Structure 1
Amino acid sequence: MNQHRRSFIVRSFLFSMMGGSLIACKPSTSNTSIVPVEIDPRTTCDLDGMLLADYPGPKAQVFYVGNPTPRFFCDTVELLNTLLSPEQVQAVAAAFVQDMGKADWDQPRGNWIPVNTAYYVLGSKRHGSMGPTIASFSLEADAQKFIAQWNGKLMRYADIKPEMVDLSGGALHDTKM
């Protein structure tokens, strides 16, 4: 996919996150009222069917334009991969991650924040449902405290690149197979 198309998709996502819609390029006032939905014991991950309540680490959810029901992710890496994927063409109405400065790592509930306002910590020693994860925080101070304990690198949403959230795992890079 060329850089122009990727740039359009990223701009489209950011526009929709600010309350706009790509449908006929008209602003939508309904997007400002989207409220995150809390997970329950039956909530499953949209990508792999895992029960979110059974695993540690930050969770995520996305609302696509025209769909009032969110799609859930058992890990922030999965959401970020989906949003930054060149194949992502659905207009996003809202996306949320959990504030791990407030949520319990082992059983995170609530504390949802917009994906594009969060501070992210990549490369920490703390694992989520899928192993290494990206911790999300509403406050930079909480992210820095997490880094002091678990290591990692502080980033903002705009700085995260698709290759940083690759879901292919280590199998593609294992030369011993």
Structure 2
Amino acid sequence: MKQNKLNWLLAALAVFTLTACSGEEEQTTARPDPVHFESGDECHVCGMIIEGFPGPKGQAITEKDQKVRKFCSTRDMFAWLLQPENVNRNHTLYVHDMAQTDWQNPNDTALIDARDAFYVVGSDRKGAMGPTLASFATESAAQEFMKEYGGKVLKYSEITLDHLTAGAPMGQMSGM
């Protein structure tokens, strides 16, 4: 009799464990969609008006409170993101796929997940704050850009603060 109760208890525990695990997968929060850049939006890092500057832009949406932070360049986005107080926070990140939009006026329909993107660091193309990280949905598009404008292709996880400061004198702004 005790063996039957033990078997029943183990079976119930197994079912409960499987149900609990599958429930967690279903309860994951849906990732927020990118937000359009509007006239008058200011960069969260430097305060510049984002509109009118060339190159890819970035945005970070905090998962806890859904606060949107917009950046005039991918360089400013990474400068903010790689700070110790932000590096371990959960953010949904978007950047422009520069293979799908114009460098001078990036279109918000070309926003992609920044963590899946490939970046060209150290190219001749300038963004809002001078040197920027050109972002692409595919490695092959990043390689093509690199062949034309120089630089080095990196994955999201490979970017460090050193990549943001190399060749970028402080205070230099393109287009001003």
User: Aligned partners of 1:159, 1:135: CA distance in 2, in Å?
Assistant: 14
What is aligned with 2:152? 153
Aligned residues of 1:73 and 1:79 also touching (Cα < 8 A):
yes
1:113 aligns with 2:112: yes
Q: 1:154 to 1:89 in 2, by over 3 A?
A: closer
Aligned residues of 2:81 and 2:87 also touching (Cα < 8 A):
no
3-state DSSP class of the match of 2:77? Answer: helix
User: Aligned partners of 2:158, 2:91: CA distance in 1, in Å?
Assistant: 21
For 1:147, the aligned partner's letter is M
What is aligned with 1:142? 141
What is aligned with 2:13? none
Deviation per residue, 1:62-85 (Å, 9 max, x gap):
011322231000010111122222
Structure 1: where are the runs of 5+ without partners?
1-25, 172-177
What is aligned with 2:62? 64
Structure 2: where are the runs of 5+ without partners?
1-23, 171-176
Instruction: Give the number of the structure whose alpha-carbon radius of gyration is greater.
Output: 2
TM-score, reference length from structure 1? 0.74
For 2:98, the aligned partner's letter is M
For 1:92, the aligned partner's letter is N
3-state DSSP class of the match of 1:97? Answer: strand
User: What is the number of residues matched between the two proteins?
Assistant: 145
Aligned residues of 1:45 and 1:73 also touching (Cα < 8 A):
yes
Deviation per residue, 1:111-170 (Å, 9 max, x gap):
111111000000000000000111000011211111111111010011112222249x53
What is aligned with 2:173? none
Aligned residues of 1:59 and 1:75 also touching (Cα < 8 A):
yes
Matches within 5 A, 1:6-45: 29-30=28-29, 32-45=30-43
For 1:35, the aligned partner's letter is D
Instruction: Please state how far the C-alpha of 1:89 moved relative to its aligned partner.
Output: 5.9
What is aligned with 1:123? 122
RMSD: 2.2
For 1:50, the aligned partner's letter is M
Out of 65, 68, 79, the residue aligned to residue 81 of structure 1 is 79
User: Aligned partners of 2:112, 2:132: CA distance in 1, in Å?
Assistant: 17
Aligned residues of 1:65 and 1:90 also touching (Cα < 8 A):
no
3-state DSSP class of the match of 1:91? Answer: coil
For 1:133, the aligned partner's letter is T
Aligned residues of 2:53 and 2:104 also touching (Cα < 8 A):
yes
User: Aligned partners of 2:79, 2:60: CA distance in 1, in Å?
Assistant: 12
3-state DSSP class of the match of 1:170? Answer: coil
3-state DSSP class of the match of 2:147? Answer: helix
What is aligned with 1:164? 163
User: Aligned partners of 1:160, 1:108: CA distance in 2, in Å?
Assistant: 22
Point out 4+ residue stretches in structure 1 off by more than 3 angstroms: none
